[in-house]
């Protein structure tokens, strides 16, 4: 059974930084992409950043230039470096693995940015 374990969330002041980590365990035959989504209270879950197996990345416009997604294929891990955090970045962040025919999600980690 595939399990995604996230870490690194927490409380940070505006302008600060956090690094999220997600490691997948279990058998995943083939991965298309790994990434991060977030969901604020009362809002939909939206893509934050994504990286394909070939290293191609895409980001939500609101985080471009501030967030960086990376992955370690050997460890089936994905990371999100978040700099210059803003109040509006407050949300639950979910790790995602797109394995073509299957989609896997982590349990979510809370990121709270305070003024």
pLDDT band at 1 (very low <50, low <70, confident <90, very high): confident
Tokens 């070939």 correspond to 54
- Give the pLDDT confidence of 13-59 residue by residue, as tens digits: 999 999 999 999 888 888 899 999 999 999 999 999 999 989 999 99
The pLDDT of residue 27 is 83
The pLDDT of residue 90 is 98
| Three-state DSSP class for residue 74 | helix
CB 38 within 8 A of CB 18: no
| Three-state DSSP class for residue 73 | helix
Q: What is the DSSP string of 27-92?
A: --S--SEEEEEEE-TTS--EEEEEEETT--EEE-GGGTTTEEEEEEGGGTEEEEEE-S--GGG-EE
Dist. CA 61–CA 10, nearest whole Å: 23
Mean pLDDT of the chain: 95
CB 111 within 8 A of CB 89: yes
Average pLDDT score over residue span 60-89: 95
| Structure tokens, 92 | 């639950």
Dist. CA 34–CA 6, nearest whole Å: 13
Q: How many residues does the chain have?
A: 115
């Amino acid at each position: 059974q595939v399990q995604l374990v996230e870490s690194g969330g927490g409380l940070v002041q505006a302008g600060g930084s956090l690094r999220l980590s997600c490691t997948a365990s279990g058998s995943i035959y083939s991965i298309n992409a790994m990434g991060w989504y977030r969901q604020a209270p009362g809002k939909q879950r939206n893509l934050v950043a994504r990286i394909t197996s070939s290293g191609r990345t895409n980001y939500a416009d609101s985080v471009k230039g501030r967030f960086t997604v990376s992955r370690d294929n050997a460890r089936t891990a994905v990371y999100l470096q978040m700099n210059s955090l803003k109040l509006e970045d407050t949300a639950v962040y979910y790790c995602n693995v797109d394995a073509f025919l299957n989609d896997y999600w982590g349990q979510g980690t809370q990121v709270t940015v305070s003024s």
